[in-house]
Amino acid sequence: MMTGVILAGGMNRRMGGKLKALLPIEGIPLIRLQLQEMSQLCRDILIVTQTPQLLKDAIDGFDSARVRYMADIWPGKGPLSGIHAACKALESANSLELVDAAAPADSLELVDSVAPADSLKLVDSEAPADSIELLDSVASTESAGYSDTANENLLWIVGCDMPYISAAAAEALGGLCLDGDADAAIPVIGGRIQPLHGVYHRRIAGIAEELLSKETYRLMGLMERIEWKKADDEFFLQRKIDLQFTMNLNTHEEYNEAVNKAVNKIVNKAAKADSDLL
């Protein structure tokens, strides 16, 4: 199975500073809805964030996949830095350690944002909220434990503001990426490239790091450097996958639209159930 990745490090300026990952849709925080969908395809999910404590309550008790936190290595540089951190984590998968949930609450702190890329450590989301840490680990990446099968080289990466992410879309993208031996498979919906909700091979970490070191932070800069496969509208429609999976929430209006869609979906489902009883 591929690894799921949620990028939750944005500044949320257009939402008045509200953490988009925690916006409720039918009473459920957006990030938990994402975890539910991702867990259909992924056993492991990484949340890239500098503030895991803020997400703790929304994630508590989720057990359909192993959820862990990690910090950007290049904080404040946008989605590219999150993609880079996640790919580096998978590159160094067997050097990643989990913090014991019983660790003393006052013994843990956030990772140094300038820690070397090969010193990543992941934190189990089950750790107590005041004991979440992303510390340095210098374990060798060559020590045993990581299964290097094709799918486990892939990461399904989404933004934390996307309410309709699709496991079916990600699975199709993963197949496209592997079949073409590509660095990534990216949706192109309505002619627009959608790098978030893409599936990436972990080997792009080096290119992402090079771009970051040169202060090139645009995702399109990454797209120009890697070999990627396009998945257009027809690709998904042939598989009966709704194209709204790339939608994201940047404004209050877009959030209200998502809430209304969720309500309408529930109403329509209830109406169908009533009609089936007649």
- DSSP conformational letter for 98: P
Strand partners, 187: 231
Indicate whether 103 belongs to any domain: yes
Indicate whether 256 belongs to any domain: no
- Name the phi and psi angles at 232, rounded to 5: -90, -175
The per-residue DSSP string of 203-233 comes to GGHHHHHHHHHTT---HHHHHTTS-EEEEEH
Residues in CB range of 40: below 8 A, 6 or more apart:
167
Q: Can you tell me the distance from the alpha carbon of 247 to that of 267, in angstroms, rounded to the nearest whole number?
A: 22
Q: State both tokens at 115.
A: 């820690």
Q: Residue 106 — very low, low, confident or very high, per pLDDT cuts 50/70/90?
A: very low
Q: Which residues form the domain of 12?
A: 3-250
The per-residue DSSP string of 46-59 comes to EEE-S-GGGGHHHH
Indicate whether 265 belongs to any domain: no
Q: How many domains does the chain have?
A: 1
Q: State both tokens at 149.
A: 């099968």
Indicate whether 149 belongs to any domain: yes
In this predicted structure, what is the pLDDT of residue 49?
92
Asked whether 34 and 68 are in contact (CB, 8 A), the reply is no
Indicate whether 257 belongs to any domain: no
Q: State both tokens at 214.
A: 């040169």
N-terminal to C-terminal alpha carbon distance within the chain: 42
Indicate whether 261 belongs to any domain: no
Which amino acid is it at 182? A
Q: Residue 183 — very low, low, confident or very high, per pLDDT cuts 50/70/90?
A: very high
> What does the pLDDT look like over 33-70, one tens digit per residue?
999 999 999 999 999 998 899 999 999 999 999 999 99
Q: Can you tell me the distance from the alpha carbon of 91 to that of 97, in angstroms, rounded to the nearest whole number?
A: 14
Average pLDDT over every residue of 93-120: 38
| CATH code for the domain of 166 | 3.90.550.10
Average pLDDT over every residue of 3-29: 83
Indicate whether 11 belongs to any domain: yes
Most confident of 15-29, 56-70, 186-200: 186-200
- DSSP conformational letter for 150: S
pLDDT score of 111 more than 70: no
Indicate whether 268 belongs to any domain: no
pLDDT score of 238 more than 60: yes
Q: State both tokens at 17.
A: 């500073």
- pLDDT above 70 covers a percentage of the chain that reads 70
In this predicted structure, what is the pLDDT of residue 143?
26
Average of per-residue pLDDT values in the chain? 79
Q: Can you tell me the distance from the alpha carbon of 6 to that of 15, in angstroms, rounded to the nearest whole number?
A: 18
The per-residue DSSP string of 237-278 comes to HTTT--GGGG----SHHHHHHHHHHHHHHHHHHHHHHHHHH-
> What does the pLDDT look like over 131-154, one tens digit per residue?
444 433 222 222 223 233 567 899
In this predicted structure, what is the pLDDT of residue 133?
47
